[in-house]
């Protein structure tokens, strides 16, 4: 079943007018907070539908609005809805009761705490971060779990949101939203090492690309990456090594040394960024020649070998621009000491 509809977020004094859909029992939006709007009537344009639906649901007559994007909403096997997304900042009239739920002005910074569709958080992020018209596709299963998202035809990264004990919460969210809200998620970290005649081991450091959404231009773990929704730590570690460095490692070649919990808040490219991650940490000790690596330039600018203790001291002295968690680096050091004692 394919349908056309409008969805509008009316704004005033740093707030959006939100509709809590509590009335209809067989409503796909039951108990969720959404904007106002509805389905096209025969022969209507998007603007005609917008003005009629807003008037019927709120009592307001819009005087200023902006067409922000198209949202393709796919739910299960039966529902496909093409929503024309609007924001509005001018209106006249008095707010009336809505027969589909309760209308309430909600401060924008509190919107994310409401019961929302996961994909709604994506377009709220886009509404704030860009003025450009966008096309957003959102695919859900019948348990309301986000299975796929694409922005302007390009798939977006989706992560499993984790509980504090590390288990999956059942919520899947897009990368930008995860880092905007500081949601707990998982990553894999691979430290590539080799023996030397100084402290005992060198570590391979990658320098992050200047285009990265966090810590651009900083030295970092040999290879690291987010765990995509539905994937596990080991397969993600192997995938990232191949994508970032061109190393085709075998599962048995990665030595698991533990889980690290890390987090920080900062601003990159003018946008707030909150990291909150559980990382499975691995060692990789097979021979690696830098000259033979195939670097993923969008992710990695260059790589260097550095003695472990030298790296540790430079991190302490702040003479090495880096985004390495000191506690994780200590985990690596302890693992290397154990290897030296047993071999």
Query: What are the structural domain ranges in the chain?
Result: 2-156, 185-342
- pLDDT per residue over 30-65, tens digit each? 999 999 999 999 999 999 999 999 999 999 999 999
- pLDDT per residue over 106-130, tens digit each? 999 999 999 999 999 999 999 999 8
Outline where DSSP puts E strands in the chain. Answer: 2-12, 15-21, 33-34, 36-39, 61-75, 79-92, 101-107, 134-140, 146-151, 154-155, 158-162, 168-174, 185-195, 201-208, 219-220, 223-226, 254-268, 271-284, 300-307
CATH number of 2-156: 3.90.79.10
Q: What pTM, to 2 d.p., does this model score?
A: 0.90
Q: What is the pLDDT of residue 1?
A: 65
Fold held by 185-342: Nucleoside Triphosphate Pyrophosphohydrolase (3.90.79)
Residue 290 in this model has a pLDDT that exceeds 70: yes
Q: What is the pLDDT of residue 144?
A: 94
For residue 269, name the pLDDT band (cuts at 50, 70, 90): confident
Domain 2-156 and domain 185-342 have a common topology: yes
- pLDDT per residue over 206-219, tens digit each? 999 988 888 999 99
Residue 80 in this model has a pLDDT that exceeds 90: yes
Q: What is the pLDDT of residue 340?
A: 73
Residue length, the chain?
343
Q: Please, what is the Cα angle at 7 between 139 and 43, to 5 degrees?
A: 105
134 C-beta neighbours (distance < 10 Å), count: 16
Instruction: Give the range among 21-30, 97-106, 169-178 with minimum mean pLDDT.
Output: 21-30
């Amino acid at each position: 079943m394919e349908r056309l509809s409008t969805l509008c977020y009316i704004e005033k004094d740093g707030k959006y007018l939100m509709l809590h859909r509590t009335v209809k029992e067989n409503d796909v939006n039951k108990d969720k907070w959404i904007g106002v709007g509805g389905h096209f009537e025969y022969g209507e344009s998007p603007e005609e539908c917008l003005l009629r639906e807003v008037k019927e649901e709120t009592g307001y007559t819009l005087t200023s609005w902006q067409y922000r994007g198209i949202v393709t909403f796919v739910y299960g096997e039966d529902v496909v809805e093409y929503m024309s997304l609007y924001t509005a900042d001018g209106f006249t009239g008095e707010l009336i009761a809505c027969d589909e739920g309760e209308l309430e002005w909600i401060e924008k910074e509190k919107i994310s705490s409401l019961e929302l569709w996961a994909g709604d958080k994506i377009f709220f992020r886009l509404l704030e971060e860009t003025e450009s018209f966008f096309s957003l596709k959102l695919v859900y299963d019948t348990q309301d779990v986000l299975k796929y998202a694409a922005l302007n035809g390009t798939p977006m990264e989706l992560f499993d949101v984790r509980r504090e004990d590390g288990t999956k919460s059942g919520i899947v969210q897009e990368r930008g939203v995860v880092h905007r809200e500081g949601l707990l998620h998982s990553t894999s970290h691979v430290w590539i090492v080799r023996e030397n005649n100084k402290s005992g081991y060198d570590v391979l450091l990658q320098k992050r690309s200047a285009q990265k959404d966090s810590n651009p231009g900083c030295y970092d773990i040999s290879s690291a990456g987010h765990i995509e929704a539905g994937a596990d730590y080991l397969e993600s570690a192997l995938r990232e090594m191949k994508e970032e460095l061109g190393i085709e490692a075998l599962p048995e070649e990665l030595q698991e040394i533990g889980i690290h919990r890390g987090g920080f808040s900062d601003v990159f490219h003018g946008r707030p960024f909150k990291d909150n991650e559980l990382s499975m940490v691995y060692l990789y000790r097979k021979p690696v020649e830098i000259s033979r690596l195939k670097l993923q330039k969008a992710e990695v600018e260059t790589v260097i070998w550095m003695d472990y203790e030298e790296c540790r001291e430079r991190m302490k002295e702040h003479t090495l621009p880096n985004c390495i968690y000191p506690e994780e680096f200590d985990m690596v050091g302890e693992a290397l000491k154990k290897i030296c004692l047993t071999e």
